[in-house]
Structure 1
Amino acid sequence: MPRLNRLTPDTAVGASRDLLAELVSRHGQVGDMVSTMAHSPAVLGGYLQLSRAMGRARLDRRISERISIAIQVRQGCGLCLDAHVSAARALGVDEEEIERARAGTSADPAIAAIVTLALQIYREPTSITDEQIAALREYGYSDRATADVVGVVALNILTGAFNLLAGLTPESGTDA
């Protein structure tokens, strides 16, 4: 059961009302996470800005979805995990690779290396080594794509932690 109420453009106030009204006018509706985030205009605005910015990331979306799956398995947000598994499937990631992503790896050594980096950023960023970054370059990852991993991890921490705080689950929520 959700712990925080959903807001609408009619029930939200200030900047949140304006953000929700804009989103509803553009998309027709907003999901539970976004409408619940509206309790904090700072959180909602930050989420929207980071989400838009990550839409311009250079990291292949099939890879970022695998990273998101790996992070959400560990963070425990079922709502986010379901959304990222669905997105990975829609992008053509097969079931075996989705299962590997859940385990924090991939059959492709290059993808496994970047998923490992993401999990280190999530758990223990001080453990990242110069050799690890050099290996990512050898796999063909640009510095920009490598830096984008931090954004993917940050977005997952934000959405997963928010959904867990708010009590949004696959049964109660409609977005991640």
Structure 2
Amino acid sequence: MTATITAIVPIQPETATGVARDLLDQVQKGLGLVPNMAKVMANSPTLLKGYLALSTAVGSGSLSAAVRERLAISTAQLNGCEYCLSAHTFIGGNIAKVDAAELDSARRAQSRDPHVAALLTLSNMIAENAGDVGDDALGAARAAGVTDAEIGEVVANLALNILTNYFNVLAHVENDWPVVGL
């Protein structure tokens, strides 16, 4: 994402009304701040509400925050979303406490941990092939210890990450995170 002017004007929390205001208040309470992505999403309360619901759902799964952040980084790199790459690199390092080498490896769907590497590889294969991965790909993931529940969660995380990647790229959301270039 190289544009610096957003294609969709952000809704400022202090001037938001109705459902948009309620949702932005929810973001503020949950994060202690309202990122630019949420401000731009607030133009469509349906979008922001759906994003928050899916984010909450995947956050309650069996995959750890450290794994989810690496999945997000891998997908952001794949989709060319500098905003999400920057946000999840920051969150991954500062909140999920993933070391810098692992965050960088996630950009290439790699990890020192074979189980995490299998999750990242599977996620990218699903994204690159619109879900049409062969039995050998699933077999390789399972051989690394990936469970059927985790396969489902990979798809849920992928859906969330594609949603935010596509939206941020489309809307040219101004990056308010420490920039990590593509």
**Shorter-chain TM band:** 0.7 to 0.9
* 1:49 is aligned to 2:53: yes
Q: 1:93 to 1:124 in 2, by over 3 A?
A: same
Q: 1:62 to 1:34 in 2, by over 3 A?
A: same
The equivalences for 1:21-170 within 5 A come to: 21-24=25-28, 29-90=33-94, 91-170=96-175
TM-score (norm 2): 0.82
Q: Distance in 2 between matches of 1:9 and 1:93?
A: 31
Q: Distance in 1 between matches of 2:132 and 2:46?
A: 31
Can you give the 5+ residue segments of structure 1 that lack an aligned partner in the other structure? none
Amino acid at match of 1:82: S
SS of alignment partner, residue 107 of structure 2: helix
Q: 1:18 to 1:98 in 2, by over 3 A?
A: closer
Q: 1:96 to 1:24 in 2, by over 3 A?
A: closer
Does structure 1 conserve the Cα–Cα contact (< 8 Å) formed by 2:36 and 2:174? no
- Per-residue CA deviation, residues 30-69 of structure 1 (Å, 9 max, x unaligned), is 2211111111111111101001111102112222222211
Residues matched between the structures, number: 173
The alignment-based identity, stated in percent, is 36
Does structure 1 conserve the Cα–Cα contact (< 8 Å) formed by 2:90 and 2:177? no
Q: 1:168 to 1:9 in 2, by over 3 A?
A: closer
Amino acid at match of 1:124: N
Give the deviation of 1:94 after TM superposition: 2.4
Q: 1:23 to 1:86 in 2, by over 3 A?
A: closer
Amino acid at match of 2:35: G
RMSD over aligned Cα atoms: 2.3
